[in-house]
Amino acid sequence: MMASSSSSSSLSNLSLQISILLLIFPLTFCKISSPNQEPLVFSLKTKNVPQSSSDKLSFRHNVTLTVSLSVGSPPQNISMVLDTGSELSWLHCKKAPNLGSVFNPVSSSSYSPIPCSSPICRTRTRDLPIPASCDSKTHLCHVAVSYADATSLEGSLAHEIFVIGSSARPGTIFGCMDSGLSSDSEEDAKTTGLMGMNRGSLSFVNQLGFSKFSYCISGSDSSGILLLGDASSSWPGPIQYTPLVSETTPLPYFDRVAYTVQLEGIRVGSKLLSLPKSMFVPDHTGAGQTMVDSGTQFTFLMGPVYSALKTEFMAQTKAVLKVVEDPNFVFQGTMDLCYRVGPLTRPNFSRLPVVSLMFRGAEMSVSGQKLLYRVNGAGLRGKDQVYCFTFGNSDLLGVEAFVIGHHHQQNVWMEFDLAKSRVGFGADVRCDQASQRLRSRN
């Protein structure tokens, strides 16, 4: 997800976040080789599953990627949105009418707020979009988060015991939020907070000590697999890697702890868009970086690149798709290419051209049903269904970046390798079968 701050930040539009529900049950570690520690392997599914003797969890990509775990002493059951686009993990710590779940720090003997004088407050918060400050009344380290959907939260940085499966992680750093404003009360009713998974010092994956994690989201039945740690020996398929882009100089619009890769071009069918590579390179302000973000549902391109893709896609599909002519119909305010489809039919997905995102050393192909998304056509005349192109305009989103969302990651093995500074794409993967195969191995 992306923060609304104009400084380095991750996309935080809660209405466009990855849709996955992840349910955790007591686990025991499985044996997959790792140079540092054994990884956690999660089988992911849409519904509650019986307790298992292996490190397997279930998820459904529907609204958000939600992890259920316990925190504190004695343990309190909570749920957190898993977000690869954020660093700071946080929990709601004060009851409110719209909150369905909160963490009560007063009831936990292991809860330990971090004072302003702590080196953690002074140095490890340096990559947060909103700098940490000192609360003059409590002398505690004060943190805040602000998102593009108008959600903003404030609270204190603290240590606590987080229990994931059978593994207790004492001293985990998080934000205990006791004030703020949310624009999505329905989402608040479902979750207790957010688990940040980017490259920052305070991200959950870095605090756990894992240098790699992977996931695979099914495009057919909402099942999949999530692995924390090095699971390369468990996945035999070929993976294309693209290096992460690093920027040592602080820039206004460059998120230095995001999973940033270099997009070099886009192909529609067999035609390469006639765009100079310079259009895909961040400028002197950092605007124009390409981020792989599980917290964003669709893919967003900078204005000129999006316009070129939109024009070419319309040209190649004019014989099979009927464009919605109403200029005021823009899905979620950011996706302005939509199509009318008869009330009893579906688009002919097989006749749509493949859109290929060409990265340095790797390629991601978007085809078939991943190109169009059925939306609510309320406000349009007639009974036609409405499908919108699953690429949007970053300019309309208010984000100065290219963002690769989770919808285009379906049936792609996604690997985030922090140790080797790269992101891997394993194409043409049946994620439901991958889940079954890894389940049978462990």
Tokens found for residue 161:
């015991």
State the chain's mean pLDDT as an integer: 81
Give mean pLDDT, residues 219-246: 75
Q: Of residues 416 and 234, which shows the higher confidence score?
A: 416
Q: Where are the beta strands (DSSP E) in 249-347?
A: 260-261, 263-268, 271-272, 289-292, 299-301, 322-323, 338-341
Task: Reply yes or no on whether the pLDDT at 313 is more than 80.
Answer: yes
Question: What would the 3-class secondary structure string for 134-181 be?
Answer: ECCCCCEEEEEEEECCCCEEEEEEEEEEEEECCEEEEEEEEEEEEEEE
Phi and psi at residue 414, in whole multiples of 5°?
Answer: -100, 120
Give mean pLDDT, residues 375-389: 81
- Do 396 and 433 touch, CB atoms closer than 8 A? no
Helices and strands (H, E) in the chain, number of each type: 6, 30
- Do 106 and 217 touch, CB atoms closer than 8 A? no
Amino acid 54: pLDDT: 24
Amino acid 223: pLDDT: 62
Give mean pLDDT, residues 178-196: 73
Question: 235: Cβ–Cβ under 8 A, 6 or more apart, which residues?
Answer: 214, 413, 426, 434
Give mean pLDDT, residues 325-350: 88
The shares of helix, strand and coil residues in the chain, as percent rounded to the nearest 5, are: 15, 35, 50
- Do 208 and 427 touch, CB atoms closer than 8 A? no
| CA–CA distance, 143 with 175 (Å, rounded to integer) | 7
Give mean pLDDT, residues 66-76: 88
Question: 102: Cβ–Cβ under 8 A, 6 or more apart, which residues?
Answer: 91, 92, 93, 94, 95, 96, 192
Task: Reply yes or no on whether the pLDDT at 243 is more than 90.
Answer: yes
Give ranges for CATH 2.40.70.10 in the chain: 41-49+61-209, 239-439
Task: Reply yes or no on whether the pLDDT at 48 is more than 60.
Answer: no
Local confidence band at 56 (pLDDT 50, 70, 90 cut-offs):
very low
Helix H or strand E segment including 321:
none
- Fold classified for 239-439: Cathepsin D, subunit A; domain 1 (2.40.70)
Strand order, beta sheet including 362-366:
271-272, 263-268, 355-359, 362-366
Tokens found for residue 352:
């749509």
- Do 242 and 38 touch, CB atoms closer than 8 A? no
pTM of the model: 0.82
Amino acid 437: pLDDT: 64
Task: Reply yes or no on whether the pLDDT at 277 is more than 80.
Answer: yes
| CA–CA distance, 129 with 74 (Å, rounded to integer) | 33
Active site residues: 83, 293
- Fold classified for 41-49+61-209: Cathepsin D, subunit A; domain 1 (2.40.70)
